[in-house]
Each structure stands twice: as C-alpha cells, then as structure tokens.
Structure 1
Amino acid sequence: MTLSPDAARAGIDAKLSELSALNDYIHANPELAYEEVKAHDKFFDLLTKLGFKVTPHAYGVPTSFLAEYGSGGRLVVFNAEYDALPGVGHACGHNLIATASLASFLGVVAAMREAGDSFKGRVQLLGTPAEEGGGGKLKLIDAGAYKGVDACLMIHPAPGIKKLPDGTDASHIRSVANLTMLANVKNKVFFTGRESHAAMAPWQGINALDAVVLGYNGVSMLRQQIRPIERIHGVLREGGKRPNVTPAHGALEYYVRSDTRANAESLWRRVKNCFEGAAVATGCTVEYEHINSYSDLRASPRLCRAYMDAMPKGTVAYKAPTEFSGGSTDMGNVCYECPGFHGAFCIETPPGVGNHTHGFTASASTKEAFDRSIACGRGMAVAALRVLDDAQFAADVRKDWEADMELAKVETK
C-alpha cells in the first residue's frame, strides 16, 4: 500500500490528549438534537488549532461542521455524532462515536501526509447532529453531503457481549463489524370529526376519539399477522378536552419497523388501512404527516472485513449474536446513498444496563470506554486506507453496494 497503516495508528496515538479532552468535554456537556452548539464549537476550535480548514454550520445545518484533507482521488467520510438524550445525557455514548471518528480522520490524514502531495485522495470529518430522532443525516443527504462519497464510516458503543445464544463464552468480543438495524417509517395520524354537546345532541357529532380508538385497536390486532422481526408502536396524541364535548379532533403517532425500507413502507400501508377503516366507520376524515424516517442499516461486507482485518485477531465478530438490533439510525439512510460501515464496540456496563439508561451514561465516561473507542478508530482508519489506496477494492465495494441497492427494493412477501 502507498498509505501506511502504521502511520495512521501513530497519527492517532500522537493526538490522544486532544482526543481525550474532546471526549470528556462532550460527555460533560450533553446537548439535545440541533442544540449541539458547544460540541460544534469545540470541534471547530480543535480542528482549526490542528491546522485544518473547517466549515462551520456545514450544508446549512447550524450544528454541523466539515473538515477535509487532500485533493482529487476517492473520498472517504467519517461521521461524528454528538447529540445527547433528554434526562439521561450521553446514554447512547455519542461522545465515544465522535471520538472514534475524529481519531480515524486524524489517522488517515497522518498516513496521507506521510505519502506526500503526490497521493490523490480526500478524507472528511462530517459533524452529523440530531441522530436521536431528529434525522440530522437526512438534512445532510438532502443538501448533497454524501454525493460522490466512496465510503462512509462510523461506529457505535454498546454493552458488552457475555455469551452467544448457544451459551458459548463471548467475553473476548470487543466489537461487531456488520451491525444491522431496522428501517423505521414514522407518521402522525389526524382524525377530524364534528363537535357536539355529548349529552344534549350526541347525534350531531362525529367522534374523532372513536376513530382514534378504533384505529389503535385495529393496529393492535394487525400485530398478530406481522413477521417476528417487525415492530409497530404508537401513542395517542389527542383525544378530546372534556367528556361533555364530542371530540372533533384526535391524533396518534406511529413507528413502523421492518428489516428493509421497502418492507417497512409495505407494513405502513397495512397500518394505514386500519386508520382508513376507522375513518370510514366513524365518519371522520383522516390525514397523515410523514416524520423523518430511518432506513435499515446495510453495511458493506467488504468494509466490514477490512475493519476486522485491521483489528486484533479474535476480538471482532462479523455479526452480533442476534440477527437484528431492534433500534434504528439515520446512518441507514446514508447506506442508501453510498457504501457504508456502521460497526459497534462493547464497553463495560453493570449487569442488565443497556443504551439509553443512566447506567450507560456513566459507563460512556470511563477511561476504558475511551480506550476502546480509540482502538476502533484505528481499525476504521486502516479500513478507510484500503478504499483510498486500492482502486480494485474500492471498485468492488461500489459494485457490491450497487447490487445490494437493487436487492433492497424487493419487498418480502
């Protein structure tokens, strides 16, 4: 290779103090989706100090940023997430995601600098706010952030794996390369009826709450006829103000998940039929508001293997013990735009503690968690070098991705 993996690893190790300081700062200053002003400014200041040209508020997203190095050639992007959750702070460890991606970016830059100006290729660190429900990457996609990208990489922390489903010890596993997550189609549902005095003239009313309840019950019965991998969950948003006024307005919000975007959209159409039927039965009208929806996570197998090859032997599983994570991420949408890698790495947590809990927040602040994020940053950097340096590898990654995008269009019957 023209680009040296050892140079990448050394470049990361040379910046451990800066990486640790940023990691600690983001964890200590949790900010919600699209409010990550401190994190944005911290990245901008650090990257500028390190000599990079940084675009603040990149692609019109106020808390996004973009740093780039190199020219010409192929382009690799690392996503840096840094939003937190209400009430529990960095209970999903996005401080560690940001740290790992920054480490990878610095490692690739170090290898490119050692190779000299004759090497053609580019690497970017892209700040991607609002993953936790805000769909930040969807805004970046719409603005063209991933056009012409040959590979996009990031990695996410998770609780440690103790045993495989067959009981085999898995305590040596530190990372999972090919993480899978569900597509998530989200919609708000609004029923409109007609108010009336519920005691004096109930016959004059059209009860939107009845439509809400009928639709909810219809979806609940539909759950018996869906595949085990699929999920439907919703809440009631509006059902009336006073018992003696027939409700003219009712609303629900539903998430529909499946293993592919095509299957999730197909399942949503079945769910929607429940609401259409409720509208007909009650005499209400029904309207829908589509919320940002997340596609399923479709990682590049070749990028996953390149990551595994770069990590200490025996510490990385290709797949997680369960076939799918029940969660969803807007990185899935990125995987529909360009070849992607979204691995996971294990951090030590108390027994029974998972993501989105206070216990995970505490675990995401430890030195051990930081060290593991750095180890994964080294692995992603080396995997990215193959894309930049090996034309055949990059072409194969692209070819596989194009074929997979055709498969992704096919609904499961």
Structure 2
Amino acid sequence: MIDYNRARGIVSDYLKDLSGALRSQVNAPLHANPELGYQEHFAHDTITAFLERAEPKLEISKRTYGLETSFEARFGSGGPLVIFCAEYDALPGIGHACGHNLIATSSVAAFLATAHTLAQLQIQGRVRLLGTPAEEGSGGKVKLIEDGAFDPPEDVAAAIMAHPVGAHQILVKGDEVGLAAAILVANHKFQVEFHGKTAHAGGEPWEGRNALDAAVAAYNNVALMKKQTRPDDNIHGIIEDGGVTPAIIPGYSRMSWAVRSPTYERSKLLADRVKQCMEAGALASGCTVNYIDSPTYQDLRANNTLCQTYADEMAGLGNNVFLKQRMDFPASTDMGNVSYYVPTFHGTFVASTAGVPIHSPKFTTEAATDEAHVATIECGKGMAMLALRVLTDDKVATGARADFAKQ
C-alpha cells in the first residue's frame, strides 16, 4: 500500500507544472482545429507529438487497430492495467461544442500524472492512453473493442475518462465541481434510404414515385408514434437528402435517426417500431426502403466502486464531487459499450457555470476558456488518483471487478 497523501502531492505538483504546456500544446490547438470523426489527423499528430516529448519515456504506437486516427501510449510493466480513453472529434458546423478538446486534455493529463507517480514511487503497474476517434455518432470505441484494444478484458482493471458539462445539466449545488456516476442511455442509430422513381413534376407526375413523400410520411408516422412511448424514450430524425429541384419528383431521399432509451433492450424494441414507421411511409408512397445501421451505443453502466473512489480522491484533492446523478440526462456515448466489456469510470466535470448546454455554439466558446482548462486539470488529477488506487489498492480493484460482474 502506498502513501496516498504523498501520491496526491506528486500528482498535483506534476500537473501544476504541466498545465501550461497542456493548455498551449494540446487543449488550445485541438479547439482551434476541430475535426470530424475518423478525420482527426491533426489531433492524432498533435497529441502523439506531445507524448513523444513527455517524461517519463513512453511507448507510443500511431494509427492503431486499423484506424488512421487512433493511437496508444503505454507505460509500466507487471501488475494490472488501467486504460485512459481520450476523445478528440468535433461536431459538424459547431466545432468542439461537446468539449472533446477538454476530454483529450484531461485524459492526457491523468495518464502522464499516473505514469510519473508510478515512476517516482517505483510501483509496478501498467497504464495506457488510448486515442478513441469518432465518438460523435460513428462509434469509434465499438470498433476498438472489436479490434482488440481492450483485450484481454480480464487484464483491464479499469477504463477511465470524464466529460465536460454545463453546471445546470447535472444540477450542481454549492461548490460541487462534477459528478462521479453519470448515467447515460442506449442509442440505436441508422440512416434510411427511400428509393422511388424520378419524373417531371409538372408534365407527368403520375410516372413518379416520390421518395421525399416517403420520408415526410415516415417522419409524421414517428411523430404520431411518440405519443405512445415512455417519457424516458427519445427519438430524433432529420432529412439529409430530399431531392434537387421542385421540378423533379425525387427518386431518392435519405433520413438519419437516433433512437434512445435507458437500456439497450428497450432501445432495440423502440428502433424496431421506428423502422415500421419507415416501412409504412415507403408503402404509402410506392417506394422501397433500405437501412444503413451505425454502431449501437449501449447504456453506460456506472461502477459503484470506481465512482466512490473517484469522489473520495477528488475530496482528498480539495474538490467536491457528488456521487449519483440527480436528474435525467438522456445523452449517449460509446463508452457505454466499454462499460459492458471492462470495469469503467465515466464521470463529468463542470466546464461552464454560465447556463450553456453542450452541443451548442456557445459551449464551443466555453470549451476554450481558462476556467474550463482549470476544471479539466483538476479532473485529470482525480482520474490519476483513481488509476493509482486501482493499480495499488487490492480492495478497490477487487471491488470494481465485483461490481462489473454483478452488472
């Protein structure tokens, strides 16, 4: 058993010294250069270049697991393994409105602080930073699981990350700076293609089969169906392609749908009902329908031991984090899939107290502030201490594995 007060001092001093470099060389450049999923080449190169300059020396692999924008950095040998997950993709049109520049920064900070402390205290244990592209809808972690990034799962004592939020989104009280046990929902995502027949809209409309009509009918069908769904179900859809000119009856249209529910099983049943609405729209308009499925996000399972340990360690660092979610926040993450595979921690930290929600242009601005960076570094300290506890405290490691087995 190590002296955890000493470890907290080492982690805090190390990240105090490193904070400026993380701000100027990771956080700010990523925010200024937002990239969509699987296109995060700047982020990949920026983070790996920073890690190559870090102490202690790390083993670094680029373009890992068949993904051009994934990477791994490794430190240590023997003992259990902790994996920090770094996200860095942005949203179309509004950049880092989900604060993934902060997620990457916090995970890099936690990983390096853990490696530094292991070296300073000469402790056995393995820690890894895994670059996880395309969280925003394309399921990068799902592909990483399939390609062995978390294998063998019995060797992974914990997978760790945290997400920035607005204070109002988790009902922060007083001096609280975050939430340990985030509860996020399952999400089935798919595109729908309707195939009809083009024709001159004015001259011979009877020769056409209107694929846009199919999409509109399907959208309205879902709107009607929503009246008979549970309050904690969420269905969102957009029309991505509805034709090119009013003079041509569209022979093709495409929609994109996200179907969320608290559990994977419920979301699958709800997605089946949504697809029936698509088929009804196709039937009514004389079109055919085709589905393009995206990776399904499973619900996030909060690990009680890891969450309590993080809250305790943040308290030891002088930060007040509350344990359990106080309100529904039906967002989704591919970290949910990880939580079904290995013991997982996915907390949140307050990056904005201005009442600004994530996935909004105003949060893009909030994610670039000095205050958000300070909160990011404090979260990184807590995650580093959580990792050290998992690696060195058998009670924590055993408890996390037992919680995972119960779930």
TM-score, structure 2 length as denominator? 0.88
Q: Secondary structure at the match of 1:60?
A: coil
Shift, 1:103, TM fit: 2.1
Once the two structures are superposed, residues 71-111 of structure 1 have per-residue CA deviations (whole angstroms, 9 ceiling, x without a partner) of: 22211011122233344333322222222212221222233
Q: Percent identity?
A: 43
Residue in structure 2 matched with residue 102 of structure 1 by the alignment: 108
Return the letter of the residue paired with 2:345. Answer: F
**Quick one: distance in 1 between partners of 2:42 and 2:169?**
36
Shift, 1:200, TM fit: 5.3
Shift, 1:392, TM fit: 4.0
Shift, 1:296, TM fit: 1.9
Superposed, 1:194-273 pairs within 5 Å as: 194-198=197-201, 201-273=204-276
**Quick one: distance in 1 between partners of 2:391 and 2:371?**
31
Pick the aligned partner of 1:69 from 61, 64, 75.
75
Contact 1:83 1:130 in 2 (8 A): yes
**Quick one: distance in 1 between partners of 2:49 and 2:170?**
43
Residue in structure 1 matched with residue 300 of structure 2 by the alignment: 297
Contact 2:183 2:301 in 1 (8 A): yes
**Quick one: distance in 1 between partners of 2:295 and 2:336?**
12
Matched, 1:53 2:59: yes
Q: Secondary structure at the match of 1:139?
A: helix
Once the two structures are superposed, residues 166-206 of structure 1 have per-residue CA deviations (whole angstroms, 9 ceiling, x without a partner) of: xxx81311110011222221111112233445555544443
Residue in structure 2 matched with residue 411 of structure 1 by the alignment: none
Shift, 1:293, TM fit: 3.0
**Quick one: distance in 2 between partners of 1:236 and 1:88?**
19
Residue in structure 1 matched with residue 28 of structure 2 by the alignment: 27
Pick the aligned partner of 2:391 from 367, 378, 388.
388
Once the two structures are superposed, residues 233-279 of structure 1 have per-residue CA deviations (whole angstroms, 9 ceiling, x without a partner) of: 11123334444544332322111111122211111001111112223
Contact 1:82 1:128 in 2 (8 A): yes
Q: Secondary structure at the match of 1:252?
A: strand
Pick the aligned partner of 2:139 from 132, 135, 141.
135
Return the letter of the residue paired with 1:377. Answer: G
Matched, 1:144 2:144: no
Q: Secondary structure at the match of 1:27?
A: helix
**Quick one: distance in 2 between partners of 1:32 and 1:128?**
13
Pick the aligned partner of 1:155 from 158, 162, 168.
162
Q: Secondary structure at the match of 1:210?
A: helix
Shift, 1:134, TM fit: 3.4
Pick the aligned partner of 1:315 from 296, 301, 320.
320
Range that drifts further, 76-85 or 198-207: 198-207
CA separation of 1:281 and 1:83: change in aligned 2, threshold 3 A:
closer
Runs of 5+ consecutive residues of structure 1 not aligned to the other structure: 405-413
Superposed, 1:368-407 pairs within 5 Å as: 368-404=371-407
Matched, 1:88 2:91: no
CA separation of 1:195 and 1:385: change in aligned 2, threshold 3 A:
same
**Quick one: distance in 2 between partners of 1:3 and 1:226?**
52
Return the letter of the residue paired with 2:129. Answer: L
Range that drifts further, 48-57 or 383-392: 383-392
Return the letter of the residue paired with 2:215. Answer: V
Matched, 1:345 2:345: no
**Quick one: distance in 1 between partners of 2:95 and 2:367?**
10
Return the letter of the residue paired with 1:249. Answer: Y
**RMSD of equivalent CA atoms:** 2.5
Q: Secondary structure at the match of 1:14?
A: helix
**Quick one: distance in 2 between partners of 1:86 and 1:247?**
26
CA separation of 1:263 and 1:162: change in aligned 2, threshold 3 A:
closer
**Quick one: distance in 2 between partners of 1:107 and 1:36?**
25
Q: Secondary structure at the match of 1:206?
A: coil
Shift, 1:290, TM fit: 0.5
**Quick one: distance in 2 between partners of 1:392 and 1:377?**
22
Contact 2:15 2:381 in 1 (8 A): no
Q: Secondary structure at the match of 2:145?
A: helix
Contact 2:235 2:260 in 1 (8 A): yes
Shift, 1:336, TM fit: 1.8
Return the letter of the residue paired with 1:143. Answer: D
Q: Secondary structure at the match of 2:350?
A: strand
CA separation of 1:349 and 1:316: change in aligned 2, threshold 3 A:
closer
Once the two structures are superposed, residues 294-350 of structure 1 have per-residue CA deviations (whole angstroms, 9 ceiling, x without a partner) of: 222222111000001101277111123313x23222222221221111111113443
Contact 2:196 2:208 in 1 (8 A): yes
Contact 1:207 1:247 in 2 (8 A): yes
Q: Secondary structure at the match of 1:71?
A: coil
CA separation of 1:402 and 1:237: change in aligned 2, threshold 3 A:
same
Contact 2:15 2:377 in 1 (8 A): no
Q: Secondary structure at the match of 1:96?
A: helix
Residue in structure 2 matched with residue 336 of structure 1 by the alignment: 340
TM-score, structure 1 length as denominator? 0.87
**Quick one: distance in 2 between partners of 1:382 and 1:163?**
23
Once the two structures are superposed, residues 129-155 of structure 1 have per-residue CA deviations (whole angstroms, 9 ceiling, x without a partner) of: 222233222222222111222211111
Shift, 1:385, TM fit: 2.0
Runs of 5+ consecutive residues of structure 2 not aligned to the other structure: none
